[in-house]
Amino acid sequence: MKTACFRGGCLTGPNHSGTQLHGFLAYLIKCIATENPYTVFGYQGKQVRDNIHCADLISAFDHFFQKPRSGEVYNIGGSRFSNCSMLEAIEIGEQISGKKLSWSYSETNRVGDHIWWVSDVSKFQEHYPEWELKYDIERICREIYEANLERWCAHV
């Protein structure tokens, strides 16, 4: 069978409906836009996640579909191209929106959380050298903000 396993990092995009404990980037941008308070859980806000935009992920799937390599396992995420800490994400969101986020800090990290994850996509890039990530963190955050601002603020 022409199948593979894609081990995704943080998958996101303009239609991602993040919540407090899942989908932090979309939820963070929503909190900034709607001026709702946000809680950073543990690690002094220095935990790092890579984020891959859904369009970049679909592009990876398409490259695989065009030239499948059966039985492969790929890490797929934003890698070093698209990653940030919680504190960096807050700063980016504030710059995009022009608003300050009201946030607090909880010393307790989320159960099962880890401090750092940046996907190593080198194997996929080696197998599909024409594939490239196009959405960095700033572009992802801006798109989430612009695509949802009117809808979010209509409910405030």
Q: Based on the structure, what is the number of domains in the chain?
A: 1
Residue 48 lies in a domain: yes
- Please report the pLDDT score of residue 113 as a whole number: 84
Residue 24 lies in a domain: yes
Provide the pLDDT confidence category of residue 155 given band limits of 50, 70 and 90: low
d(CA 134, CA 72): 23
Q: Is a pLDDT exceeding 70 seen at residue 156?
A: no
Q: Is a pLDDT exceeding 90 seen at residue 112?
A: no
Residue 95 lies in a domain: yes
d(CA 33, CA 81): 25
Residue 143 lies in a domain: yes
- Directed axis angle between helix 137-154 and helix 86-97, to 10°? 60
Average pLDDT of the segment spanning 103-117: 91
48-53 and 83-85 beta bridge pairing: antiparallel
For residue 22, give the DSSP letter.
B
Determine what percent of the chain is predicted with pLDDT higher than 70.
99
d(CA 135, CA 54): 9
- The CATH number that applies at residue 79 is 3.40.50.720
Residue 42 lies in a domain: yes
- Please report the pLDDT score of residue 80 as a whole number: 96
d(CA 26, CA 132): 23
pTM of the predicted model as reported, rounded to 2 decimal places: 0.94
- Domain extent for 69: 4-151
CB of 91 closer than 8 Å to CB of 56: no
Hey, which bits of the chain come out as E strands? 4-8, 10-12, 38-41, 48-53, 72-76, 83-85, 103-106, 116-117
CB of 12 closer than 8 Å to CB of 144: yes
Residue 156 lies in a domain: no
